Chains A and B, each alone.
Chain A
Amino acid sequence: MSVEINVTGEVVTAYLSGEIDHHTAKAIRENIDSAVDLNMPTLLVLDFKDVSFMDSSGIGLVMGRYRNLAKSGAELHITGASEQIHKMLKLAGIEKLAKIEGR
């Protein structure tokens, strides 16, 4: 599992790769949150293109980031979700919290 961060203006993009479960979620969360704290973006993009597996721990991760961003009025977008990850996002109703791109 790894997270790569890209900062362009007021947009922070986190490129996630590998498997997201309860075991890996903590490190991913810490990576994303430190980039957000440092850069104060108006938009956070989570890129799932290289995520090969995700269970509901990933949903907890997305919801948690949404709650943090909402405090400063920043937005959350999700991109690159596979069919399977999309199925999970849909079950959780994430489209009400974040724009899901490329669908």
Chain B
Amino acid sequence: MKVTNKFSMALLAKSSNESFARACVSAFATQLDPTLEEISDIKTAVSEAVTNCIVHAYRSGMGNIYITSELLEPNIIRIKIRDKGCGIENVEKAMEPLYTTVGGERAGLGFAVMQSFMDRISVRSAPGKGTTVTMYKKISRRFGGNA
């Protein structure tokens, strides 16, 4: 898959950056002429991954969240969200719907939302090193034009 465009950024894992991060990625995605629903799906999935970095990865400190997004032919967006936080012991278990390691009001649905709102998601994690979530979404070509 040929990469036609790319952007990267690093931002502090502060909850006030959640809305900024999803706005950046969704603004970049508009180059593929997505529908409002597709934009909203992307925003939601990014919000989930970024929130996980803040709430889980860096729960005992502060660190950077690294976001890279690429546009791929034909009309696909790839989004990578990486942290250097605590990592995940058992990724398969973490991805089960309703599974959460934090009490209070986490729904345990972050990964379920990423899986259902994006076309494909893969998670790589090493305990003590960090986690990378990579998500793909194919954008429908509404007007048959090129991005």
Residues of A near B116 (CB, < 8 A) are 91
Interface size on B, residues (CB 8 A): 23
The yes or no answer to A22 lying at the interface (CB within 8 A) is yes
A63 close to chain B: CB less than 8 A: yes
Which of chain A's residues have a CB closer than 8 A to the CB of B31? none
Residues of A contacting B47 in the complex (Cβ-Cβ under 8 angstroms): 21, 53, 55
A60 within 8 A of B: yes
Determine which residue in B19, B37, B116 has the highest number of CB atoms from chain A within 10 A of its CB, and name it: B19
Partner of A91, one of B51, B106, B113: B113
Chain A contact residues, majority secondary structure: helix
B15 at the interface (CB under 8 A from A): yes
Hey, what's the 0/1 contact readout for B36-56 against A, CB within 8 Å counting as 1?
Answer: 010010011001100100110
The B interface is mostly helix, strand or loop, or mixed, namely: helix
B109 touches A (CB below 8 Å): yes
What does the 1/0 interface line of B101-134 toward A look like (CB < 8 Å)? 0001111011011001000000000000000000
Complex-state Cα separation, A29 to B106, whole angstroms: 13
> Does B105 contact A21, Cβ atoms closer than 8 Å?
no
- Cα distance A19–B109 in the bound complex, in angstroms: 18
Name 23 A/B residue pairs within 8 A (Cβ), A-sorted: A21-B51, A22-B51, A22-B55, A23-B15, A23-B19, A53-B43, A54-B44, A55-B48, A55-B51, A56-B107, A56-B110, A56-B112, A56-B113, A57-B51, A57-B107, A59-B107, A60-B105, A60-B106, A60-B107, A63-B107, A64-B105, A84-B37, A91-B116
A residues bordering B, Cβ < 8 Å? 19, 21-23, 25, 29, 53-57, 59-61, 63-64, 83-84, 88, 91-92
Question: B interface vs A, CB < 8 Å?
Answer: 15-16, 18-19, 22, 37, 40, 43-44, 47-48, 51, 54-55, 104-107, 109-110, 112-113, 116
